[in-house]
A and B are shown apart, each in its own frame.
Chain A
Amino acid sequence: MEHDDSKGAVKAYEPSSGLAVSIDDPVQNPGLPPHHPRITDVDPKAAKRAERTIYTLFYVSVAASLWAVAAYMLFPIEDMEFISIRRNNLFIGLGIALALLAIGIGAIHWSKTLMSDKEYVEERHTTRGSDETRAAVVESFRTANEESGFGRRKMIRNSLFAALVASIIPGITLFRGLAPHDAENSPVDLLKQTMWKKGEYLTRDPSGTRIRASDVTLGSAFHVIPESLAGMPHEEGMLNEKAKAMVLMVRMRPEQLIEREERKDWSYDGIVAYSKVCTHVGCPVALYEQHTHHLLCPCHQSQFDVTDEAKVIFGPASRPLPQLPIAVDDEGYLIAQSDFTEPVGPSFWEIH
């Protein structure tokens, strides 16, 4: 596009039409069509009717507003009944809605039937300022530059820029305080550990009752949390821990399980426990399909095969769900052998 960009400033005053083709012989614009009067312009009865409609609407609005206030008093909710809340919501709402709609419809009806529908023509001007204005602006910048020496005194100018940029940095630094300083654990360390440890009891979510291996029947699925999580108050970070430590436990016939040699002792008699945190973006993988032994994440439909180390068989997740090694104590209650051996939840940069 040599022809319009680079031929200097003079050209810029006449905007290029680019690739547009102007026809030598265009069809002529016929000009504004004749004005057709509306029925309300010619028939005084129709105008009167429109007027009546409009003020009736406005008075209806007044009545509806009063109704809304009345409904506020007529439909109390203090009896704590669900139906009262519904009525309160419905009748106040209908009153306000009618009050507002009547104003709106009335006003628009007014403008369409009674206000003049004569069209006006206004000229457009190019958006750019006039040449004189622009020259005056350039002149004022030039004078300001001369009087301040902004362009001439380069050291002052550049040091000012440096100072301004530097002055932002302390402000940004303050935002480090968004999260606590933790000398022992970096965010990455925190992601790599959960509450599970050797001997931690597997308990039901949310009651915290221990689970006997014999209670876990074939085909059942248990939502499991560590025993020390149950009863932990929120302010001690219960939800933070639960978001990492939650586990889904199922039992199958031992021969259905495909297990690596080194993981043979991570399950107990066909009972396997996997992290319930999806390795995609962290939703709870809570839907267990009993006859296929698939776990489904309801958020983005990743599917994991519980018989085969919870490997991903469909969907956007990439890593298998981490397995929690389990065992039973002397009384037959299920316990953890250790923490997870890899981070749970979504993949991140330093996961390995």
Chain B
Amino acid sequence: MSTATEEKKAPLGGRFVGATANYLDERTSLSGLVKALGRKVFPDHWSFMLGEIALWSFVVVLISGTFLTFFFQASMVETHYTGAYAPMRGIPMSVAMESTLHISFDLRGGLLVRQLHHWAALTFVAGIGVHMLRVFFTGAFRKPRELNWVVGFVLFVLAMAEGFTGYSLPDDVLSGNGLRIIDGMLKAVPVAGPWISYLLFGGEFPGDAIVGRLYTLHILILPLIVIALIAVHLVLMIVNKHTQFAGPGRTNKNVVGYPMMPVYMSKMGGFFFIVFGALVLIASLVQINPIWGYGPYDPSPVSAGTQPDWYIGFADGALRLAPPHLDFTIFGKVYPMGVLIPLIVLVVFIILVAIYPFIEAWVTGDKREHHIAQRPRNAATRTAIGAAGVWFYAILWAAASSDLIATHFRLTMEGVIHALQFLLIGGTVFVYFLTKRICIALQKKDREIVLHGYESGRIVRLPGGEYQEVHKPVNEYERWKLVADETFEPLVPRPNDQGKIKGRFRASVSRWFFEDRLQPVTNAEYQAALEHQKHALHEHGDGEHAEIESDDSKH
């Protein structure tokens, strides 16, 4: 490995580290991996940190969850509580509930870990959500990253499944009611509904099997798939290299940023501790899911104003907004539309989210690789679709609190539901058009800044007595961020060899997608604008301000 003269010098990190590294490399050829990744360059932007929130929250979920498994018992066998919490002593409950109370009240730090696990789980799903929004609105799902979008989407669904199975484990009133709703939805499924429920619960609802079954899903198979998919997600990220925002020196063919070692090791590693620390801080200060206040599951009692965990809200809200009295019967078989309509709407919604990259690729016909993250305003139609989707989701989510909205704002229950039903449909359409117009207006503003400079806030009085605001040019590095974009134009269907016109549908979709657009600034326009600005400076004759100045009236 080294020559005789070099051996006299101690290797980097000392003889022990050198010997260990040599030992490992001779058996694993690890050096190749470190060479490839050690100084790999990653671009920097605050929004690239959102996915990390999800990643590190998941690590916290794993760590805290493993601790909990040492004490939690996933059994629905009846027992009588004898632990520290006096109001519950003597009450019959399942072993699952009892062991959860044990963790909370009889184990030092147990409540902390339980709350940490729950808060981290909520943050995990939220982290995935905001990360997906970032990827969507910047077009970072475009080729070659469409598959990684799908992987991420599956992770989002799995995270919700993890959350729901975990929520159901303590076997308290709230978790039981959550399962009851799932049971009711399953029973509504045409043909097999009652059988699906019967098999899932091991007999009639609630039975004595469901907690054990959900536990196996929660701690074995779901985490396994999540971990595997996270690995795939990260490997694909490394293979594709991270997207970067347009900026000076940044192109579609390079990555500009800091090296993995030492900068990102320190930043990412540090961020893990910040996420972990913030979650522990929340867990030590803010109570979550106080099951001792709800009591063990019993189908009969319920309290008003109970809420599911936030990520289930949109599904619960969809159930509340379903239009009534649409059930129908065909050949004596019932179709409970009060459940089926929301189910179908939710499934269609999330499938659209999953396949959006492929839809957009089909509309644009674009088969190039894209490594520059777009500014949302520069993809007006996509941003409008995204904003409309966010609105749709948000209204469903708000609907899960329709009763609380009604009581807090002293409105009628019916009024709130009807208003939300209207906002769900009408608001989504309105938000689409509004967002599109805002995006185009912002594009115009960028164009204005590039060609005429920004408003400096300085008012000058001209010889004629007229007051004007001085516009100053932005420097060329800032300006590049505003012009570095491409545009698309609608597809025009043309006759093929047989004289037949094909692809009319695709053309109309494409027209809808791209008709409203701004042409990007050309170099000629840009140079002419610069000339104008110089010219303006001369005419102005403003000796006090040596820098180039311009104002609108001169153009």
Contact = CB atoms under 8 A, between A and B. Distances in A.
Interface of A: 1-2, 4-5, 15-33, 72, 75-77, 80, 82, 85, 88-94, 96-108, 110-111, 115-117, 119-124, 126-127, 175-176, 178-180, 187-188, 190-191, 205-206, 223, 225, 233-235, 237, 239-240, 242-244, 246, 276-278, 280-284, 286-287, 296, 298-301, 303, 312, 314-319, 345-352
Contacts of A312: 324-325
B336 A127 contact: no
Contacts of A116: 263
A281 B300 contact: no
A304 B456 CA distance: 64
Contacts of B206: 239-240, 243
Given A121-B255, A287-B304, 10 more contacts: A19-B364, A25-B522, A29-B480, A124-B255, A235-B77, A282-B205, A286-B300, A316-B322, A347-B188, A348-B187
A206 to B, nearest CB: 8
Contacts of A102: 277
Contacts of A72: 108-109
Given A25-B523, A349-B193, A76 B108 contact: yes
B542 interface: no
Interface of B: 39-41, 76-78, 84-86, 92, 94, 104-106, 108-109, 111-112, 115, 143-144, 177, 180-181, 183-185, 187-195, 197-209, 239-241, 248-259, 262-263, 266-267, 269-278, 280-281, 283-285, 297-306, 316, 319-327, 329, 332-334, 336-339, 342, 364-369, 371, 402-403, 413-414, 417, 476-477, 479-480, 483-484, 486-491, 494, 496, 502-503, 506, 510, 514, 519-524, 526
- Lowest 3 A-B CB distances belong to which pairs? A93-B284, A281-B184, A107-B270
Contacts of B86: 80
Given A188-B194, A298-B306, A352-B329, A283 B180 contact: yes
Contacts, number: 403
B254 A121 contact: yes
Given A122-B255, A191-B194, A16 B249 contact: no
23 contacts: A16-B368, A20-B487, A27-B479, A72-B109, A104-B270, A106-B270, A108-B274, A110-B266, A119-B256, A121-B256, A180-B203, A235-B208, A280-B184, A281-B319, A282-B205, A283-B184, A300-B319, A300-B320, A316-B320, A317-B324, A348-B187, A348-B336, A350-B194
Contacts of B112: 88-89, 92-93, 96
A17 B486 CA distance: 11
Contact of A284 (B77, B254, B301, B496): B301
Contacts of B484: 27, 29
Contact of A124 (B207, B371, B477): B371
A21 B259 CA distance: 34
Contacts of B371: 124
Contacts of B192: 349
Nearest to A118: B258
B84 to A, nearest CB: 4
Nearest to B269: A107
Contacts of B490: 19
Nearest to A185: B204
Nearest to B189: A349
Contacts of B483: 26-27
Given A115-B263, A191-B194, A349-B191, A21 B506 contact: no
Nearest to A278: B184
Nearest to B527: A27
B57 to A, nearest CB: 13
A100 B522 contact: no
A4 B187 contact: no
Given A31-B248, A77-B84, A120 B41 contact: yes
A280 B339 contact: yes
A178 to B, nearest CB: 4
Contact of A346 (B188, B266, B414, B496): B188
B514 A1 contact: no
Nearest to B252: A124
Contacts of A347: 187-188, 327, 334, 336, 338-339
A111 B180 contact: no
A213 to B, nearest CB: 22
A93 B249 contact: no
Contact of B273 (A107, A126, A246): A107
A300 B304 CA distance: 10
Nearest to A127: B144
Contact of B520 (A23, A188, A190): A23
Nearest to A205: B300
Which of A205, A299, A303: most chain B Cβ within 10 A? A299
Nearest to A187: B198
A315 B420 CA distance: 13
B484 to A, nearest CB: 7
Contacts of B272: 104
B181 A281 contact: yes
